Amino acid sequence: MLKVKRWLSAVLAFVLMASVLIIPTETAQAATESTMDAGAAPAAIYPYDQSTRYAASANFTLKANGVPIPVIKAYNDYDYAHFSMSGGPVTYEVTILGHVYKAESKRLK
């Protein structure tokens, strides 16, 4: 039985090393202006009203194409935002505890 465990451990270690070293991984990158569809109009953003049941988030703010989206502190372990939008490019601006992060949508072909 000990031989089988060692053999299985060796096979699993080899597979893990091969998957990390040999198989290429893709990384996510924010879209640049040149990759955006230059002719497309920006998406229209429709924020939903915040429920009176929940308080506003103290940690996060969100803007989509410059439109403020209410971020809700739903429970102790997460906050969320609820909105809809039309088709077209969107620039998201997320502020997390005072740090601003921006990301743009990329059209999938």
pLDDT digits (tens, 9 = 90+) for 23-71: 555 544 555 554 455 567 888 999 998 878 888 988 889 999 999 999 9
HSE toward the beta carbon, residue 93, CA cutoff 13 A: 9
Taking the whole predicted model, whether its pTM rises above 0.85 is answered as no
Report the percent of the chain where pLDDT is more than 70.
73
pLDDT at 109: 46
**Residues with Cβ within 8 Å of residue 72, at least 6 apart in sequence:** 50, 51, 54, 55, 56, 57, 79, 80, 81, 82
